[in-house]
Amino acid sequence: MDTGKVTIHDIARRLNIDSSTVSRALNDSPRVSQKTKDKISEMAQSMGYQRNLMASNLRKNVSNSIGVVVPRISRHFFSSVIQGIEETAYNTGYSVFICQSLEELERERNIIKTLVANRVDGVLISISMETSNYDHFQLLNKQGVPYVFFDRHCDIVGNNNVIINDFKGGYDATKHLISKGCKSIIHFSGPGHLEIYKNRLGGYKEALIDSGFPFKEEHVISSKLMESDGIGIIKSLLEKGVEFDGIFCANDHVAIGAIKFMNNLGIKIPEEVAIVGFNNEPVSNVITPSLTTIHQPGFEMGIKAAELLIKNMKNQNGIFTSETIMMDTNLIERNSSRR
Amino acid sequence: MDTGKVTIHDIARRLNIDSSTVSRALNDSPRVSQKTKDKISEMAQSMGYQRNLMASNLRKNVSNSIGVVVPRISRHFFSSVIQGIEETAYNTGYSVFICQSLEELERERNIIKTLVANRVDGVLISISMETSNYDHFQLLNKQGVPYVFFDRHCDIVGNNNVIINDFKGGYDATKHLISKGCKSIIHFSGPGHLEIYKNRLGGYKEALIDSGFPFKEEHVISSKLMESDGIGIIKSLLEKGVEFDGIFCANDHVAIGAIKFMNNLGIKIPEEVAIVGFNNEPVSNVITPSLTTIHQPGFEMGIKAAELLIKNMKNQNGIFTSETIMMDTNLIERNSSRR
DNA sequence: TTTCAAAATACAATCGATTGGCTTTTATAG
DNA sequence: CTATAAAAGCCAATCGATTGTATTTTGAAA
């Protein structure tokens, strides 16, 4: 079957030499003379040769690519991480497969399978909200594909992780509200099985206790942290007559929903209720009042995660190490808590 | 070299049959008996076999994948288009390579090369702001890789495009401002060589003329449409003493910048200046006042673009057709122009 | 039991690039 | 002019799956 595409054999035939010499020349091997190299690369150029990576990779048994699995690329945080990953990958000659689980476990499973079938050399994963079962990652172990979790990780030991210090983020956010005089602080938490939300909650709890405030179960409300959840939660809190003067939200979206709704009700932010988000999404600086939030170094995280993965990919003497890199957050004070 | 990965040959050896039978069985060929198929798939399962797509694709001379090139995945519009593309691709069995040019021509060039080297079966492109030279797309023609432009297209005939009716969008936005009583409307335009901005500008012009207003060169200001540009442009307009009571922005970001800056100056929106954006980015509904904008059906566009591409990929009898699908926009009225 | 088409399976080439081993060419020294 | 080591290049196997052709097996009819 003639595909119309030029191969090293075509070049070899034209120059009346062997295809192995062409291959070596194009790879700048010392086993080919400069004169021949020049002749070959000129011919390759003029014939419009493009190396077939599928063939090359098959032979070399690598793919020179890494897979990235995120819940959604549209989330600012994830797209900055991806930026960082691509930066490192680009500099080290890897190409990047970006995949979205859309927060669905089923898709996450399929993605892992496809990545394995495509023989990626490594995988970077931030798990979906639905992911509470980790069996599908065993496929990576079985196939000897190194992988690193970033941000949303699993509570399994022996993994490689690059994570945010969510505990400190939650702690700082809560302490900040306390320092602003809040006496009764609600926490909008995420799905309970996700480590990051457990840790943010943990930080919240400890900050309360450290400051001599009681921790109340009923002050923690879990949801999927969508904008609409913010509205619903505020509504039901008011209906139940729960008193509060501060909210720490586990992400910015749910905070935005809450702010919009409270703005409509005429509840004054930050005077009556101060609010802190998490993620530093671009919207957080656009809403009125602007939202105090916890910044996560997404770009740097991407770089670190890719570096850790590549380190593991090179270290293919069968010895897998496990390492967890924790990255620091910082609080950005804006008007939603400035008083 | 033993890679530890199971191949059809390993399965064949274990069952004492030929690897071709294993291959046919796993592909559910009628040439293999049901009994053998069962035996093989059971063994494949238990040995943890995963098809090597690199080998399979090499042999079949396809990759079952399409490449997508966008300026940035973090732009809401592009991520919705990608969602649509993935939807279609997923349903037709293709996997998707997502790549970001980051608005740089150089990266766009490299991406095209890498995609070609990876032998993608087709490419979907939305060009970068720097792209005014189209030579690198010739590589796709030379290699016989079909491609479709979406949103940001080239002004070359014979291409396949799925585009927004930018002219109508610009026309509607301007007409809307006029209907709200604006007498002097400024247009924040994008880089002049991009078709989409030319067309939005064209719509603006026609709407003015249709309504008996003069079109003034000095009312059109071009920039890269970043948030910071919005601030800068307003500043310089005020310094120059240009009078205006309406702004039509070629994207939402530049509009956000302008709104923030005018809010700070105490210029009342929409009373003193009404403003309309373009893209319906999520922030447009978060800023105060909320931004009237032109919605583009990103998701649907992704579906259409992928469908058109796949149609072209199948139609590989050498006859290339060219088709341009134009998608309609609609104006979303919000507070920045409600009066 | 033989016959023979149909069904099932085996053989071998192939996709395009890479690479260890072997042969030819070249250049230098004796 | 020959010997010989180094340089250059060729040969052939290989990566793993697919597929056209050839061969064997099966089962049913004669």
Task: Characterize the bridge pairing of strands A293-295 and A330-332.
Answer: antiparallel
A272 touches strand D (CB under 7 A): no
- Whether the per-residue pLDDT at A186 is higher than 80: the answer is yes
B74 touches strand D (CB under 7 A): no
What pLDDT score does B186 carry?
Answer: 97
High-pLDDT (> 70) share of chain B, %: 97
Q: Is A97 in contact with B97 (Cβ distance < 8 A)?
A: yes
| Cα gap A339→A269, rounded to integer Å | 10
Model-level pTM? Answer: 0.88
What pLDDT score does A142 carry?
Answer: 86
Q: Is A143 in contact with B50 (Cβ distance < 8 A)?
A: yes
| Cα gap A267→A275, rounded to integer Å | 12
What pLDDT score does A320 carry?
Answer: 67
A153-177 in b/e burial notation, b at 16+ Cβ within 10 A?
Answer: bbeeeebbbbbbbbbbbbbbbbbbb
What pLDDT score does A158 carry?
Answer: 87
Which CATH fold topology does B64-164+298-327 show?
Rossmann fold (3.40.50)
| Cα gap B98→B301, rounded to integer Å | 16
High-pLDDT (> 90) share of chain B, %: 83
pLDDT in tens, A88-143: 998 898 989 899 999 999 999 999 999 999 899 999 999 998 988 899 999 998 88
- Do the Cβ atoms of A71 and A40 come closer than 8 Å? no
Place of tokens 């004492």: B16
| Cα gap A81→A86, rounded to integer Å | 9
B259-281 mean pLDDT: 96
- Whether the per-residue pLDDT at A1 is higher than 50: the answer is no
Q: Which residues contact B268 (CB under 8 A, 6 or more apart)?
A: none
| Cα gap B77→A73, rounded to integer Å | 12
What pLDDT score does B321 carry?
Answer: 81
- Whether the per-residue pLDDT at B3 is higher than 80: the answer is no
Secondary structure of residue B288 in the 3-state scheme: coil
Q: Is B3 in contact with A52 (Cβ distance < 8 A)?
A: no
What pLDDT score does B115 carry?
Answer: 92
What pLDDT score does B120 carry?
Answer: 93
Peptide bond into B30 cis (omega under 30): no
Q: Quote the tokens at residue B137.
A: 């797309």
User: Nearest nucleotide to B61 by CA–C1' distance?
Assistant: C15
What pLDDT score does B36 carry?
Answer: 95
**A192/chain B closest Cα distance in angstroms:** 27
| Cα gap B337→B180, rounded to integer Å | 7
A58 CB neighbours in chain B (<8 A) are: 52, 54-55, 58
Q: Quote the tokens at residue A339.
A: 């008083």
> Do B3-51 and B64-164+298-327 agree at the fold level?
no
What pLDDT score does A132 carry?
Answer: 86
DSSP B104: -
Task: Characterize the bridge pairing of strands B65-70 and B220-222.
Answer: unpaired
Return mean pLDDT, chain A: 93
| Cα gap A214→A185, rounded to integer Å | 10
Banded pLDDT at B187 (limits 50, 70, 90): very high
Banded pLDDT at B158 (limits 50, 70, 90): confident
Banded pLDDT at A50 (limits 50, 70, 90): very high
Q: Is B117 in contact with A256 (Cβ distance < 8 A)?
A: no
A92-128 in b/e burial notation, b at 16+ Cβ within 10 A?
Answer: eebbbbbbbbbbbbebbbbbbebbbbbbbbbbbbbbb
Which CATH code fits A3-51? 1.10.260.40
What pLDDT score does A2 carry?
Answer: 44
Return mean pLDDT, chain B: 93
Instruction: Write down the domain spans for chain B.
Output: 3-51, 64-164+298-327, 166-296
Would you tell me how many other CB atoms lie within 10 Å of the CB of residue B129? 19
Banded pLDDT at B90 (limits 50, 70, 90): confident
Q: Is A288 in contact with B283 (Cβ distance < 8 A)?
A: no
pLDDT in tens, B210-238: 999 999 999 999 999 999 999 999 999 99
Q: Quote the tokens at residue B132.
A: 């005014």
- Whether the per-residue pLDDT at B319 is higher than 80: the answer is no
- Do the Cβ atoms of B49 and B11 come closer than 8 Å? yes
Would you tell me how many other CB atoms lie within 10 Å of the CB of residue A19? 14
pLDDT in tens, B233-267: 999 999 999 999 999 999 999 999 999 999 999 99
What pLDDT score does B4 carry?
Answer: 64
A229-238 mean pLDDT: 97
What pLDDT score does B1 carry?
Answer: 35
What pLDDT score does B162 carry?
Answer: 96
High-pLDDT (> 70) share of chain A, %: 97
A199-207 mean pLDDT: 97
Chain B positions touching chain A (beta carbons under 8 Å): 1, 3-5, 48, 50-55, 57-58, 61, 63, 72-74, 76, 79-80, 82-83, 86, 95, 97-98, 100, 113-114, 116-119, 139, 142-144, 256, 260, 282-283, 286-288
Q: Which residues contact B30 (CB under 8 A, 6 or more apart)?
A: none
pLDDT in tens, A51-60: 999 999 999 9
Which CATH code fits A166-296? 3.40.50.2300
- Do the Cβ atoms of A68 and A97 come closer than 8 Å? yes
pLDDT in tens, A294-316: 999 999 999 999 999 999 988 76
* CA separation, residue B77 to residues A75, B151, B258, B278 (Å): 12, 10, 20, 10
